[in-house]
Amino acid sequence: MHDVTHVLIVLFVAYVGAQLGAEVAQRLRMPAVVGEICAGMALGPSGLGWVASGESLDTLAELGAVLLLFSVGLETRASDLRRVGRVATYVGVAGVALPFALGVGWAISARFGTAAAMFVGAAFVATSAGITARVLAELGIVDRLEGRVILGAAVIDDILAMLLLGVVTALLRGGGVNAIGLALVLLQAVAFVAVVLLVGPPAMRRASPYLEAPVNPLSPLTLVLAGCLGLAAAASQIGLAAIIGAFLAGVAAAETSQRHTIELQTRPIMAFLVPFFFVATGTKVVLGHLAGPHAVLTLLLITAIGIIGKLAGCGLGAASLGMRSALVVGVGMVPRGEVGIIVASLGLAAGVFADETYALLIAMSLLTSVVAPPALRALVDRERT
């Protein structure tokens, strides 16, 4: 009974802290995720010491990450990929390739092994579609050309980021890098993603009527969540990250006629589980690793790499739109947010890098998420004046 009480107290403190942190961040016009992670830092071992990693918190955090990526996939219809156009494709591909190359280059210069450097590079890749979409909606430019390109490119960005994460995760589990091993891992990751993307959406469209066959009025939600857990387990079983399976499950579920209902019904579950992931992420950050001139300079360097990689890569991809529009697209693709944080957490759990590198990658994701929204607002406001 004492253990149960202790677990409940820890979860209570973590959840309340996440809500308070999110509220403060949003009042300061920053993403809620920034406040939730900062709450974890404050409550964790290097802060007040009230919350620490444990089986219960870590399990809820992992479920939160799976559900978060499922919801991202649920907002990504496979049919949208065919309508975003050539420019969005260029932006998405360039916005993955250049940040990854720069991230790997920095990691190798910092004397990481090849496979570990690739994992670190993956943390520089994925744009936070959620943060960007929220800012675009606030600015009222979702329907503008730049807004459509940014959101379309973010879809492609997510797909490529998940594929890249699958490759580097499988490489690490395989214990090395060689030409044959790399080809097999790439083939395995591509095959898994391709099969689910090709088979899943049409299968879910045909299955839509049957989702409401059970008596339970929530059956569409419960059945697609079962599919989410199943694909997450399948991805993990073949050596990929579980969140890849969850993301693909969301992409498939997005093709059902109950998509919007499922989105609405998923939100209360996310409101409960997802904050635990970000608080747990914050508790693992040792604040002392961010102190001192060397740590600050390194943080500024990798943040600059993260910003320049997206700004240059995505801006070049959108060059045909003109310099001003290309700049808007580049800035809109800068925030890393939740996906970069998940990649860093997976790297720490796999023992790829030390706590110091983890703290730097988390801080880089937070800084890019804080810097980009006001910069995007400034660019749009300048166009309107």
Q: Which of 167, 153, 34 is nearest to 100 (CA)?
A: 167
**pLDDT, averaged across the chain:** 80
Quote the CA–CA distance of 95 and 294 in Å, as a whole number: 28
Tell me: pLDDT of 20 over 90: yes
Quote the CA–CA distance of 133 and 126 in Å, as a whole number: 14
Q: Evaluate whether 99 touches 306 at the Cβ level (below 8 Å).
A: yes
What does each C-alpha distance from 215 to 219, 221, 239, 253, 376 come to in angstroms?
A: 8, 13, 37, 20, 48
DSSP string for 68-98: HHHHHHHT--HHHHTTSHHHHHHHHHHHHHH
Tell me: pLDDT of 341 over 70: yes
Quote the CA–CA distance of 40 and 16 in Å, as a whole number: 11
Q: Evaluate whether 125 touches 164 at the Cβ level (below 8 Å).
A: yes
In this predicted structure, what is the pLDDT of residue 138? 62
Domains and CATH numbers, the chain: 62-278+292-384 (1.20.1530.20)
| Bigger pLDDT: 21 vs 385 | 21
Q: Which of 220, 212, 210 is nearest to 264 (CA)?
A: 220
The tens digit of pLDDT for each residue in 24-59 reads 988 887 777 778 888 988 898 878 888 877 778 888
The tens digit of pLDDT for each residue in 99-150 reads 999 989 998 988 887 777 887 888 888 777 666 666 666 666 666 777 778 8
Tell whether the torsion through CA atoms of 101, 358, 367 and 87 is positive or negative.
positive
Mean pLDDT calculated for residue range 316-323: 85
Mean pLDDT calculated for residue range 216-221: 80
Tell me: pLDDT of 262 over 80: yes
In this predicted structure, what is the pLDDT of residue 133? 63
Tell me: pLDDT of 314 over 70: yes
Tell me: pLDDT of 61 over 60: yes
In this predicted structure, what is the pLDDT of residue 220? 82
In this predicted structure, what is the pLDDT of residue 16? 94
Q: How confident is the model at residue 304 (pLDDT cuts 50, 70, 90)?
A: very high
Centre a 10 Å sphere on the Cβ of residue 205 and count the other Cβ atoms it contains: 13
Quote the CA–CA distance of 231 and 284 in Å, as a whole number: 28
Tell me: pLDDT of 17 over 90: yes
Q: Which helix (H) or strand (E) is 162 found in, with range? A: helix 145-174
Tell me: pLDDT of 85 over 80: no
Residues contacting residue 123 through CB under 8 Å, at least 6 positions apart: 103, 336, 340, 343, 344, 347, 361, 364, 365
In this predicted structure, what is the pLDDT of residue 24? 92
| Bigger pLDDT: 252 vs 287 | 252
